[in-house]
Amino acid sequence: RDRPLSGAPLASGPIPAWRMMILRFRLAAILGASVCTSAFTLLEAVSRDGLRLTSPRMMAAPAGLAILFDCDGVLADTERDGHRVSFNRVFEERGFDFEWTVEEYGRMCEVGGGKERMTAYLNGFNGYRTSGWPAGYESPTTESLTKGLPDDPRRLELVRELHARKTALFQAPRARASYQAHP
């Protein structure tokens, strides 16, 4: 019940980097691979203060300390006000003739993953249709998909490129400062 995550007692004070890595892997194994990295960031901050870290069910913490496990959209509407806006900025930068409205993006979220979402949209998912793929990408070597991504190398490269730029925009400090927390 009160066994440290690393399997050995933890000394008070800062935890060495190698032990933090073990803690992160153990926590991910206990809670599942879908745990967000913000939980690890806070776990590291807590460990620097020298708190004893025990199993997640029995983690001892001083009064007033909370560890929040956040994923996109839980604390703030980052899907609507972050990811969607960042996708639209990328589309505008590239000169595409479309923009995802809040309603459209809500429906597009039925497709998991940003790259997969763009692929589905450009292929006409859910009744949405632009003029199709951008110029130069209209005639792929194949129309097939693997796990929602194009098998055509040029289309796959485009989708990855667009997604990387979207992620950079989404993570920019200026963008992050604009996200409003849920009440």
User: Catalytic positions, please?
Assistant: 70, 72
CA-CA distances (angstroms) from residue 151 to 121, 141, 142, 158? 16, 8, 7, 12
Query: CB–CB of 9/39 below 8 Å?
Result: no
Q: Taking Cα atoms as reference points, which of 48, 3, 42, 43 lies closest to residue 23? A: 43
Query: CB–CB of 132/119 below 8 Å?
Result: no
Q: Taking Cα atoms as reference points, which of 15, 81, 103, 18 lies closest to residue 53? A: 15
